A and B are shown apart, each in its own frame.
Chain A
Amino acid sequence: MNTFLQLVLNGLGKGAVYALLALGFVIIFKATEVVNFAHGSLVLIGGYLVYATKDALGWPGAAVLGIVSAAVAALLIERLLVRNARGADVNSLALLTIGVDVIVTEEVVRRLGNDIPFIGDPYDAAPIQFAGLTVFRTQLVALIVGAVLITAFFLVFRFSNWGVAMRAQAENKEAAALMGIRSSRVTATAWLLAGALAGVAVLFMATQDFSGAGLGRGTHAIALIAFPAAILGGLDSTAGAVVGGLVVGLTEALSAQYVSFEFSKSAVFLVMLVILVFRPSGLFGTRELSRV
């Protein structure tokens, strides 16, 4: 029982990180209908800057810089590339982000060289014991940070001008434009926000606690888990992204313990497949992802 509770807590912590990634993914999709395959490279950019500057700036400063850089990188992808590919359909735009992803990932990995640094200095590798449970501090911090950020996001999404504009745009682009909503600014904010969330997520991903592996190709591969999280929740549902993230985190933690570590990633994808077969638009998705 204790093991199980422990797994659930750690799984939720991981899930919170996946939720941050999936949420960014969904925000971009809602704003632009682009499936952003470059999400993993945003994670790497943020992580790399933390690693490169933490000795000079101290960890907190480096963390902020990392988050900002990931956000700016996302904005640049949107402004310089996606925006300029006017004639391209959304599928081509998704392929375009794959191209960006390849370049950025290779460059970051090249710069890291043989290093695979851990970047979660303040909390990593210092498990907490309470009530007979061993909880990874990283996952616990992630859970708290995730809960705060996600709550903040939903408040903003619900009540701010940006949130209203964003939802209007996702609903009907032409109508939103007629209402005077500046699609360009809404879209830019969406990418910026998604990048920032990826920058936060990486602070927990490249840790001893989370993956046992430092920043590198492995981190990029972990970011791929955001796909099943977003898809099983429903690509156009922000709430779905959060639920999807948690489902993925729990699935990974439980299957790693009860089946095998190697199986845990496949398990995540299998859960997604099963859900897609029965609900082709995901658990909370409304947009038609399939039609016959």
Chain B
Amino acid sequence: MSERVVTERSSVLVRLRTSWPSVAGVAVLLLVLLVFPVFAGVAYLKAGQYVLIGVVGAVGLTLLVGQAGQLSLAHPFFLLVGAVSYAVLAGDSGDSGDLVGLGLPPLLAVIGAVAICALVGLAFSPVSGRLRGIYLGVASLSLVFLGLYLGQSLDMLSGGTSTGRPPPTFDLFGFRFANSDPAPTILGVAIQKQQRLWYLFLVLAIVAYLLARGAVRSRVGRAWRAVRDNEAAATAMGVNVARAKAQAFTVSSAFAGLAGVMTALWLDLVKPDENEFIGTYSITVAISYLAMVLIGGLGSIPGAVAGAVLVNGLPQVLTLGATEFGWSIGTLSPVLISAFVYGAAIVLVVLFEPGGLAAIGRRLTTRQGDR
């Protein structure tokens, strides 16, 4: 890293003075996100929802990759487990009665799906606790292949590759996240299914963000960073290294599981992929999540958000541009362009700015006087 900004703020006064602009910034951002459904059409809302899914998944992955120093390519597997678990827990047995569905209340099903992903992640401890860094990355690839196989063979859970199964409509104490008549309105705009899902996803993303940030600043985060930086020193300070690694993997799996539930609701479909290299739960997705956390700056929670906006947002924006404004992108599909952009971004970040967007952001916001 070329230069390091060292901030020494001892007095509370200084801290307050430097933090009020960021407090104001957060307030403005929140306000914009809250009124987004008012001025944005359904296509924009879908794009925004997709970014929020990325935020939840990327925040979880940056805890593992950036904070604990463990690489994982298994994120799509946990997306799949989360999506299928939600459909199974909240769903019914389908029209022909050949699906497993427990018919639980959707809120309970979401919590259950996240818990199942955490447990599956925990069950991977013998591997995730023992392998280091990149080796875990390769070992975790096995889960993607396993997920592909299980998704294809356990039709009664996943709905199978041909039709999949519909995820049950989410509802919260009787308030359904679906279109209704009459619908409540905000500033004259009807709050229908997509608007409701936007708010749901926004809340989930904020919860994920705050949980991760709290954890990073606490005992757990310190233990993870210690394991990442020096295992012998972490051990000497009382950290059980294998447990800390397994814990980070478990937590990251749970976040991915939540992102999986969100993916199911977003697509309105749970359907396993037909092959391992392209699809909703494929290796391509694993790489796009890695791209998010790397571009954002390893270990940085705001960075993961920025990475998700770039990696998940770009194809959506390009698609919108093509459909709404008639942007011409020739034979290049939005997905392809985005892949080029984030592929190049990965290379550039490693070569020139290992701290990613987070480091760039820090430099921009750090005032000269603080140097």
Contact = CB atoms under 8 A, between A and B. Distances in A.
Interface string A59-97: 000000000000000000000010011011011111110
B138 A231 contact: yes
Interface of B is mostly: helix
B137 interface: yes
B145 A269 contact: yes
Interface residues of B, number: 49
A45 interface: no
A218 B277 contact: yes
Contacts of B257: none
A99 B131 CA distance: 23
Contact of B142 (A96, A235, A272, A290): A272
B149 A262 contact: yes
A92 B146 contact: no
Interface residues of A, number: 48
A269 B127 CA distance: 13
B340 A103 contact: yes
Nearest to B133: A91
A190 B126 CA distance: 34
Contacts of A84: 351
A224 B342 contact: no
Interface in A236-292: 260, 262-263, 265-266, 268-270, 272-273, 276-277, 280, 289-292
A91 B72 CA distance: 12
A273 B343 contact: no
A220 interface: yes
A240 B325 CA distance: 56
Contacts of A260: 153
B328 to A, nearest CB: 17
A98 interface: yes
Contact of A276 (B69, B139, B342, B345): B139
Contacts of A218: 275, 277
Nearest to B161: A262
Contacts of A231: 135, 138-139
A96 B275 contact: no
A35 interface: yes
Which 8 A-B residue pairings sit nearest by Cβ, starting from the closest?
A: A99-B346, A269-B142, A102-B343, A103-B343, A96-B350, A99-B347, A266-B149, A221-B277
Given A266-B146, A272-B139, 20 more contacts: A85-B351, A88-B351, A90-B134, A94-B71, A102-B339, A102-B342, A103-B347, A110-B331, A227-B138, A227-B141, A263-B149, A265-B149, A266-B149, A276-B135, A277-B126, A277-B127, A289-B131, A289-B132, A289-B135, A292-B235
